[in-house]
Structure 1
Amino acid sequence: MKVLLLFAWLFIFPVNSFAQKIKIMKTDTVQQTEIRNAIEQYYFKGIYEGNTELLKQVFHKDALLFGDIKGVPYYKTATQYIEGVGSRVSPQKSGKDFKPTIISIDVINTIATAKLNVKMYDFNYYNFITFHKIDGKWLIVNKTLTDVEL
């Protein structure tokens, strides 16, 4: 009787129905390369040179920036941020160190995130950038940042 109940249970509740289904995502190196280029050629270069035109090309016009700098909450629209970059002395002109690093890039379909470290002036920023591919172009739609003591 026990054997019959065991077989009945196995037919009613198949063993594999409890197994977790895992979908393996393929890494799309083409998309990662496009994002890396957007970061290096527009974002990093724009910040370093104080080039607002480069930044306008990589930020979506409605992007928002959130975070904290030296413990103070930070919030800006993309327009406010880009204007601020344009009005300050650029790292290039200041002669101060500028060391940007891409830590990681993750892509799923038309969205992506990038974790960056940007050392400039007396700051050690960590940025989490969200990209969205719009009309064939990777644009920054959100940036969060924090400053960590060196």
Structure 2
Amino acid sequence: MENLDRSTAEIKLVLETYFNGIFFGDAKLLRNVFHTQALVAGDINGIPYFKTADQYLTGVENRKSPYESGEVLSMKIVSIEIMNSIAVAKVNVPIFEYNYYDFLSLVLIDNKWLIINKLLTHINN
């Protein structure tokens, strides 16, 4: 139980870093929580979306951030499931005109939780 509690706390920190990186447009911060070989896939308004982590992070670097747009940070963790050295987190990421839901796959590598896969979709409110 102690390991599960510790892993949950560590994953929550990763997710808070993820939220802050997206909100403030801080790709360097995001690079700390994404595995270098991570993939980002899903759909936006029904249009397929697929990028490498590097392509995704470059996009974050080059766009106006939600913070710069005057938005309020309202991202939240919906759920976290952990099994041994893998985990899945469901998060809600409302930014710009989108209401994203992300499913983030995480792996424990060298005692550090990293996002290895990001699945995303936008749903209408």
Q: TM-score scaled to structure 1, two decimals? A: 0.80
Question: 1:79 is matched with which residue: 54, 62, 66?
Answer: 54
Structure 1 residue 149, shift from structure 2 partner: 0.6
Question: 2:9 is matched with which residue: 7, 17, 33?
Answer: 33
Kindly indicate whether structure 1 or structure 2 has the higher relative contact order, using CA contacts under 8 Å at least 6 residues apart: 2
Q: Which runs of 5+ in 1 are unaligned?
A: 1-24
8 Å CA contact 1:97, 1:119 repeated in 2:
no
Q: Which has the higher strand share?
A: 2
Give 4+ residue runs of structure 1 displaced > 2 Å after superposition.
none
Q: Counterpart of 1:94 in 2: which secondary structure?
A: coil
Identity %: 46
Structure 1 residue 28, shift from structure 2 partner: 1.0
Q: Does residue 108 in structure 1 map to residue 83 in structure 2?
A: yes
Q: Which runs of 5+ in 2 are unaligned?
A: none
Equivalence for 1:126: 101
Residue 95 of structure 1 aligns to which amino acid in structure 2? G
Q: Counterpart of 2:64 in 1: which secondary structure?
A: coil
Distance 2:31 2:108 in 1: 15
Q: Counterpart of 2:22 in 1: which secondary structure?
A: helix
Query: How many matched pairs?
Result: 125
Structure 1 residue 64, shift from structure 2 partner: 0.3
Q: Counterpart of 2:67 in 1: which secondary structure?
A: helix
Q: Which has the higher helix share?
A: 1
8 Å CA contact 1:128, 1:143 repeated in 2:
yes
